[in-house]
Amino acid sequence: MKRAVFLDRDGVINRAEVRDGMPRSPGSVEEMQILPGVPEALRRLRAAGYGLVVVTNQPEIARGRTTRAIVDAIHARMRAELGLDDIRVCPHDDGDACACRKPKPGLLLQAPRYDMAASAMVGDRWRDVEAGRAAGCGVTILVDYGYDEPVPHEPDARVGSLAQAADWLLTRT
């Protein structure tokens, strides 16, 4: 089986607007900005043999603040610009008690063709770290923006960007 890098979307791939100490998703394709260094980091990871899978909570769909069509349009642009292998979306809110909303591992476990122990999860929130741990990822990496929330379990690495996460991961493998 192939290894993968599972990537949170907002704050890892694209710029997240931070309000009240927490990241927020872009509201349209036009608002979505790929972060500096992301395309090159993804090319390097792919060249090293990793599959590239975005796993993203999008509770604004359940809350009625955006539509699935807008989220899908953002993802179509990401696929076109970044060559991602897959994008998996949880459209639920916490109250829905689904199996796919991070920190639960459902989004990652929907990708059975990947060797989880040889894979990594890269995210900017505690939910991402916990989902990676619960799914059995061999490595969890936190892109640390200093959000106003605790991180229950220490990730394997704390970095400042996806480019730094790629550097860290590629020096280990």
* Tokens 């090159």 found at: 40
Q: What's the alpha-carbon Rg for the chain, to the nearest Å?
A: 15
Low-confidence stretches of the chain (pLDDT beneath 50): none
pLDDT at position 10 is 96
| Catalytic residue IDs | 8, 10
List b or e across 57-91, with b for residues whose CB sees 16 or more CB atoms inside 10 angstroms: bbbbbbeeebeeebbeebbeebeeebebbbbbbbb
Domain membership flag for residue 59: yes
65-79 pLDDT, tens digit per residue, is 899 999 999 999 999
Q: Which domain holds residue 137?
A: 4-115+133-172
Q: Which 3 state secondary structure label does DSSP give 89?
A: strand
The CATH number covering residue 100 comes to: 3.40.50.1000
Tell me how far apart the alpha carbons of residues 107 and 103 are, in angstroms, rounded to a whole number. Answer: 10
Number of structural domains (the chain) is 1
